[in-house]
A and B are shown apart, each in its own frame.
Chain A
Amino acid sequence: MALPISYHWRNLFVRKTTTALTMGVVAAVVGVFAWMLGFSAALDDSLSVASDDRKLIVLKPGATAESNSAIPIEDYNRLNQLTELARTDAGSLQSPEMLVQISLPRLRDGGRTAANVAVRGVTETAFRVHTTVKIVAGRTFNPAAREVIVGRAAAAQFAGLQIGSTLNLGYSGDRGYQIVGHFSADGGPLESEIWGYLPSLLNAYNRTMYSSANLRLRDGADPKAVIGEIEGPAIQLSAQTEPAYWQEQSRNIRTYLGIANFLVAIMCIAAVFSIANTMFASVAGRTREIAMLRTIGFSGGQILTGFVIESVLLSLIGGLIGCAGTLAYLQLAGSTKDMFGSTTFTTLAFDIRLSPLIVAKALGLVTLVGIIGAAVPARRAARVQVVNALRAE
């Protein structure tokens, strides 16, 4: 027969202050951890959408991102010789695109700072290459009018992007484009962008060159071979698969998460020591009780398990408080965050959320912290010398 859970539960509340303070430590650590996991998950979710390796992004050699690439039309036309592209009735899936930026106030700090949001000029073909893009509100832009559509992540984080409002675009910022719709892209990076009709935007920005070409390969095509062809002497452009492109663009965000990870790891160690401290005190204060339990037939192993269970209970409650705290923080202080890609100079907007999976992960960590913290004190409890302990004062 094992010790009942209610025994451990009540034991936690014998030393209310100590238990509460230790839970506080665990809660603080888990709170930060959960926030970080939320951010990390938001990034991964976003990039996992942009991981279609049958989609190629073609840039001018020397450029590091769509925003600093310029492809003259005659260079672009050389892509027509590619035979491995997917085709529809409307032609091969080869989308010329232009990428410029507009500086928009961030909603989360009340417009104190502004973010560089990507404005992408596209044609009809873009919607067949970027298959994830779907209109979720309003309608798509009319090529014959000055109209744009806005990704839903951008609409949620930056000012002035409601349907019906007007954005001043163009090289001098003097062409009013009306926002007629919002689109989603399965949560991918395109949701942080604004889309308009390519010829109209080229004209507004006095441009004669495209920024990039986005290609969709036909089923069974080998991306490596096509990249080789594009970079070869006949075309002389550079190409990357979509996942490779975003891997590179998220390098700085991963560094950021790395720093946060490292700090959380150190805090976790501190939490382990704090729990050990509490559990040692608990063992020391209950030596006679433990001896009693041994006398009435509980084994050393059961006592050991008992203390570990107690520590895990303690940590789990702390962990739940921590997650609740982070949830409250995200509700109150806002859950939005945006970061530049490594070289895009345009921002990627994230919405940090605590999914059940993240809470489960955080509680998993907390269980581990509880077990490690209790390991040594619990062993000490299991080894209590029954006779001596009973005789002790």
Chain B
Amino acid sequence: MSDITAPVTPARARSPWRSRLSRWDQKGSPYAFVSPFFILFGIFGAFPLLYTFWVSLHSWPLLGEHTFTGLDNYQKLLQDPQFWNAAKNTLGLFLVSTVPQYVLALWLAVTLNRKIMARTLFRVGVVIPNITSVAAVTLIFSMIFAKGFGLANWIIGWFGLEAVDWTAHTWSSWLAISMMVDWRWTGYNALIFLAAMQAISSELYEAAAIDGATRTRQFWSITLPMLRPTLLFTTITSIIGGVQLFTEPLLFAPGAGAIQGGTLRQFQTLTMYLIENGFTRFEFGYAGAVAWMIFLLVLIISLINILLVRRISGAD
């Protein structure tokens, strides 16, 4: 700061008032500039999250009195089979979609990292799914997975398989929803991995080649370890996104009971359960408890993820 204020000194000699103004300007402006962000985040980000906790300590229907009930909602929630069902579905869908997605994205990134013709075309191609709206994607895929006339059943029919009622079973609905998620995110993650791969010094590969390491070996011993920070970052982003999975399962079987995620709740996620309690049953207190459980879940999975990555990096 001293070298920024220094040139102003001659002006101070001329006009003390002006220099005082300038001093205020330089002291106050940074705070004024960052304040819109913090004020808006405070009102619309931090406050709702904290207020959710306050609401969750009450029996708080939309209409009528709300009464303080302490941790009753949480106690009820822990014994609520629908909550555990939603938690199971959320984690299951997260794993079923994320694991193959990462494998495919890494493979795609390695492929995009070669000398290829029409490079931009292929790169734009992989990012197209990501800019398409989730609602549109889901509606298109719902048509593809329609029981009677869908493309998916037509194709599996070639192999002599019987038509599947995709929304009716746990395994088939999870498969269909995972495909929607993966269609949208595989290419995006591949680009992120590609960027990280390009940042790896080629000297490492040269040295490995001198030592006679094969390309497969180079991938496992150089590329993957060097991608660790990127993988950690992407995984945390995926967790936050995965726990908030909502649109795909909601619109997969649209209609009156859509928020329940199938007739047997076989694909109701935690966020759907939150919205069901908040805006179908209008039990704000209970919905608040669901929200905080989701928040805790995000924290716990993220921590496990960080610890796992630490463990792996310590191992080699």
Do A and B pair up? The answer is no
